[in-house]
Structures are given as structure tokens and as C-alpha cells.
Chains A and B, each alone.
Chain A
Amino acid sequence: MRAVENYTFSAKAEERFKKLETQFPERESLVLWALHLVQEDAGYIPPSAISYVAERVGVSRSHVQGVISFYAMFHDKPMGKFHLQVCVNASCWLAGSDELEKTIENHLRIRPGETTPDGLFTYNRQGECLASCGTAPVVQVNADYHESMTPQKLETLIEQLKRNS
């Protein structure tokens, strides 16, 4: 994971940012993209990245801060290595998402918004439908969707993630 004090883009992020700079006629558009790149580098948006993004894009720090606070996917605090999000919207609820919430709470002993003491798992209830209702219920782990979940499958997945980390 990228250093969070005096954050700067990794080489890969730098390369992507350079290309993005050619794709948008107004630089302000780069704010969300730059924040995505930071988050891919560091796992969250460290405080030092706020000035960095503001400077690279050419907007104020408060602009960047405002964007971070508006969008649910930008995290201004460190997250667990695995971010588990259980979709709790209508179709996932119909398909048993309540049981998945219980599975996580019992298995990892954390409540929504919390991170396990070992820093491995952060758990959240996802109120936004993830557009996976046909294969409900769904649990998103970092960028990946795990569809047609059952408590059993979720326990196995959690154990696997623990082993692989």
C-alpha cells in the first residue's frame, strides 16, 4: 500500500492521470478520477492526498473535500483490507440479506461501520441496490460482487479471505 504521508501518485496512477488529462476539456472533471486513483493506491483518501489532488487538478482543497464527503465510495479513514458490503435493498432483502448481516455480525463480531481489530474486515450495510437483484442477495467485497450468497457461502468466503491475507 502507498505511503499516506505526503501522498503522491504511484507510477501507474501517474500514467493514468496523464492520459485522463487529455480526455477532458475542463480540468475540474478530473477530481473524481483523481480520487479514484488515490483510493486504488492507498485504500482510502489520506489527508495529504486532499491538497495533492487539489493541486494536481487545480481546484481548491474545499472543493475536493466537498466531493469526498458527497460520494459514499470515497473513504477519508483507513478501511479494513476487505470491505464487505451487504446489499440490504428490496430484492436482496426478499432473498435473505438479513441472514447475511447476522452471519457477518456473528462470525466477525463487528457491527455496521466497524473494522475488525486485526484490520482485515470492514463491514457496511449497503442501502443502494447494487444492480444484482436477479442474483440476490449480493455481497460486495472491495471491487468484486459475490452473487447468490448464502450464510454458508459467506462464511466460507470470509475464511478464504482470512487465509489468503
Chain B
Amino acid sequence: MAAPLEKRIILADYGKPDSHTLSVYEAGGGYSALKKALISEKDKWTPDAIINEVKASNLRGRGGAGFPTGLKWSFVPRNTGKPTYVVCNADESEPGTFKDRVILEDLPHSIIEGMILAGLALESGQGYIYLRGEFYKGWQRVDAAIQEAYAKGYLGENILGSGKTFHLATYRGAGAYICGEETALLESLEGRRGHPRLKPPFPAVKGLYGSPTTVNNVETFAAIPHIINNGGDWFKKLGIGNEKSGGTKLFSVSGHVMKPGVYEVPMGISLIDFINETAGGIRPGKELKAVIPGGSSTPVMTRQEAMRAKLDYESMAEIGTFLGSGGMIVLDSSTDMVQLTKRLADFYAHESCGQCTPCREGSKWIADIIDRLIDGNAVEEDLTTLLSFTKNMGNGTTICPFADANVMGVVPIVEKFYDEFLYYLEKGKSGEGK
């Protein structure tokens, strides 16, 4: 059942018994977009027509960066003589994010249909779904759904008698956050260590096996069938904020709210209404202190900032943060921001792939300073040093944006809640913390 303010499009069948099966998906209109594109409206849905419809929808990549999907697809060259690949990023490991897992486990056919449509748009005959290794149940569900789709003729050669071919296979990661970054994902999918590649060339031109490739997020693909069925303009207008952020979006909310979970709401609704109405509000007797809006790599918002935020790409950018993956962590007045920072800093220090010195060393330094602070061994300069060297960690000094993600996730917490860090410093100096 939908929660207050929810508008369920992608999640329409979420919660129904056996929603992961082909029969339930078809009963809810599943694969009708594919049938339209391949059979009943086959002349209309040329590759360009599909891309243009996706452009018109203003769908933006749901993996975190928010890049317009139609535009991304239009960069993939056709007729290169090489195969083109459609890759689904199901590595979901940005702390605070757990929306893709719901689609993978409970609505896997929506991903498959979206990927086949992407295959038609890009004239690709092969797709891969890269799941993080920890998602064993998700992998089983996706694998079973692929087999159902093959059996029913939605995948394989001559799909539904149309003459088109699209094959789909799964791949399992093995515990590395960096493999969510699309070029690291491709390295991993090619059977190597997950080291991000230098860009350009972008995957659109030189991706998997050196061929044209699109990498899109799970939720991005799941939105495609609805766009083909109901039109790009319809999808765009589902958003109630500004036109550039089209559609509904899944948000996964955790932390100090009464009803954590995954919700689908129109883009552009107020953040505080979402917290209070959809997610059941803050725990009784506590007050909102801060919100990490879109996964741990998006800058934390203070209560004041959160009060005026709207859930779309532009409004978040105005406040100096990002909508990101929609993985929202809500923090109430009881939260110790220094301890919270430790959890994130340790995570980034552990997950840096180690290719670039500023990232490998910088992430370790951050974690060490936070540790010293907590252990009572920090000195006055530690905090200023942290704020200084983190300026040189990302900003184009590294191959991929991991270092930027680390800095954006950690530094705003230190800056905006500096008093709490000073408190630990003073406590340490007085010998209390030891």
C-alpha cells in the first residue's frame, strides 16, 4: 500500500505476493511496452524515436550523478561494426541506499524490459546485469526472471517474432564499493581488479570490451517501460517541481525516522513533508538535527537547510548538496556527529581502490585523524590539517570521483558541526577521552 505523498509507478506491484514473477508482472501491464515497440507500433518505435521519448521524459540517471538518460544514449555511436552493450549497474553500495535491492528482489522483470528497450534504442544485442556479490537473493531472483523471459520469448533470438535479438546475462561482483563506479564496473565485468579507467574515452564510445556501451542504474532501466507506454511528456509531468527533474523517484530513508523504507514520490516535493508524512516523522521526543540526502557521499544538510529543501536535482544543488541516489539518512538530536563521521571515514579509507595517491593516502589520513580525535590523542592542528589537505584530494587530481565523494561526505559534517569536533579535541586534551 502506498504511503502518504507516494505515487507508485515503478513500485506499483511492490508488496504484492509473487511480484517478482513473470505472471504478476504481466498482469500489471508488464512487457506491454516491449510488445508496442516490437509489434503493434513497430513502425513508430525506431531507435531514434525511443531515444527521443526518453529525452522528452527528462529522466535522469538514478545511480547518483543525475545525467539525462536520453542524452547519454544519444552519445552511443551506432553502426561502428562492433557490438554495442547495455549494462545495468546493480552494484548498489552507496551507504544509505537500498532502493535498487527492492527492484532486484521484488520487481526484476521491470529491469529486464527496460534493458531490452534500451537494446532496441542502441541496436544492441547483448546486455549484462552486474550485481554486487552480497546480493545473493537479488541475483537468484534476477536469474530466475531472465530464464522466465527467455522461455516466454522476450529474450533471445527473434524476440516475439520481430527478428530482433537481445541476450541478457548476470555477473556477480565480490565486495568492492568502487565497482559501482561505471568504469571500475566494466573492468570488473572483464574479469579484473575494479580499477576505474581514465576518461575520456567514455564508455559510450569505448566501454565493455572496447565497444560502445551504456551503463545505467537499476531504477533508470525500470522507468523506461513506463515512458514508452505512457509517453515522455507524461513522465516528465509526474514531477511537481521544475521540468528538468522529470518523473517520480525512489527514495530509501533510514536513520531516526518512524517508518524507514523505500518510497516512490513525485520529484520536487518538500523534503520535510517527505520525512514527516511519508516516513512517519522523527522519533517522539527528538528533533531533526541533520539529513544526509542522497547517500553518504552527498553533503550533509543542517536542520535549517533541510527545512527549505525540495526533492529535485536543482533545488538540492541550490542548497549546496545533491539528490544523489536518493539514499537519505535522517539524524535526530541524539546523534554524535563525530562517531558518525568515523563510520563514514573508515568506510572510505577501506574502499579506496588505491590507484591514485591523493585518494589512497588522503582517505587514510581522514580516518586516522577522526580516530585520534575519538581516542583523545588529537592535537589542535589536526582539524585544520584535515580541512586543508582535503581540498587537494579530489578536484581532478584522481582518475575517478571517489576522492570527491569521500570529501563531500565527510568535510561538510566537520564544517557544519565543528563544535562537536572541538568538544572531542578539548576532552582529549584534558585527558578525559583516554
Q: Quick check: A133 and B347 within 8 Å, CB to CB?
A: no
Closest residue to A69 on the B side, CB-wise? B193
Provide the bound-state CA to CA distance between A90 and B347, in Å. 9
Asked if B191 contacts A71 (CB within 8 A), the reply is no
Please, how many angstroms separate the alpha-carbon atoms of A67 and B195 in the complex? 11
Given A24-B169, A72-B175: A128 and B137 within 8 A (CB)? Answer: no
A26-B209, A67-B193, A93-B343 as given contacts; A133 in contact with B254, CB under 8 Å: yes
Is there a chain A Cβ closer than 8 Å to B114's Cβ?
A: no
B173-187 toward A: CB 8 Å interface, digit per residue (1/0)?
Answer: 111110000000000
Scan residues 8-41 of chain A and give those whose CB is less than 8 A from a CB of chain B: 20, 23-33, 35-36
Give residues of chain A (35-71) contacting chain B, Cβ–Cβ below 8 Å: 35-36, 57, 59, 63, 66-67, 70-71
The interface centre, meaning the residue of A24, A25, A140 with most chain B CB atoms within 10 A of its CB, is A24
Cα of A66 to Cα of B354 in the assembled complex, Å: 13
- B350 close to A (CB within 8 Å): yes
B165: Cβ under 8 A from any A Cβ: no
Q: How many residues of B contact A (CB 8 A)?
A: 55
Chain A residues with CB below 8 A from B261, complex form: 134
B93 A73 Cβ-Cβ under 8 A: no
Q: Mark B325-345, 1 if CB is under 8 A from A, else 0.
A: 001010100010001100110
Task: Please give, as numbers and ranges, the residues of chain B lying within 8 Å of A127 by CB-CB distance.
Answer: 346-347, 350-351
Residues on B with C-beta less than 8 A from A63 are 192
Interface membership of chain A positions 75-115, coded 1 if the CB is closer than 8 angstroms to chain B and 0 otherwise: 00000000000001111011100000000000000000000
Please give me the residue from chain A that is nearest to B292 by CB atom: A90
Is B188 in contact with A94, judged by CB distance below 8 angstroms? Answer: no
Asked if A143 CB lies within 8 Å of chain B CBs, one says yes
Partner of A91, one of B169, B176, B254: B254
Nearest-Cβ distance from residue B356 to partner chain A, whole angstroms: 16
In the bound complex, how far is the Cα of B170 from the Cα of A36, in angstroms?
Answer: 13
CB–CB A29/B134 < 8 A = no
Residues of B within 8 A of A136 (CB): 254, 260
Please state if B176 and A131 are interface contacts (CB–CB under 8 Å).
Answer: no
Once bound together, how far apart are the Cα atoms of A140 and B175, in whole Å? 13
A residues near B252, Cβ cutoff 8 Å: 133-134
Cβ–Cβ contact B253 & A36, under 8 A = no
Select the stretch in B94-102, B267-275, B374-382, B383-391 that faces chain A.
B94-102
Return chain A residues, CB-CB under 8 Å to B96.
90-91, 129, 133
Which listed residue, B101, B134, B344, touches A73 by the CB 8 Å rule? B134
Q: Mark B257-270, 1 if CB is under 8 A from A, else 0.
A: 00011100000000
With beta carbons under 8 angstroms apart, the residue of B172, B209, B292, B344 that contacts A32 is: B172
The reply to whether B190 and A29 contact each other, CB–CB distance below 8 Å, is yes
Q: Is the CB of B95 within 8 A of A67?
A: no
B134 / chain A contacts, CB cutoff of 8 Å: 73, 128, 130-131, 140
**Chain A, Cβ-Cβ closest to B138:** A131
Query: In the docked arrangement, what's the CA distance between A144 and B97, Å?
Result: 19
Q: Is the CB of A129 within 8 A of B95?
A: yes
Chain A residue at smallest Cβ distance from B135: A131
In Å, the complex CA distance between A63 and B193 comes to 9
B255 proximal to A (CB < 8 A): yes
Pairwise interchain contact A133-B174, C-beta atoms closer than 8 A: no
- Asked if B175 and A71 make an inter-chain contact with CB atoms under 8 angstroms apart, the answer reads yes
For B343, what are the chain A residues with a Cβ–Cβ distance below 8 Å? 88-90, 93
Q: Chain B residues with Cβ under 8 A from A23's Cβ? A: 167, 169
Q: List, sorted by A's number, 7 A–B pairs whose CB atoms are closer than 8 Å.
A: A66-B193, A67-B192, A71-B193, A128-B93, A129-B96, A131-B134, A145-B137
Interface residues of B (CB under 8 A from A): 83, 92-98, 100-101, 132-137, 167, 169, 171-177, 188-194, 209, 252-256, 260-262, 292, 296, 327, 329, 331, 335, 339-340, 343-344, 346-347, 350-351
Which are the 10 A-B pairs with shortest beta-carbon distances?
A72-B175, A71-B174, A133-B254, A31-B191, A73-B175, A143-B136, A129-B95, A28-B191, A70-B193, A23-B169
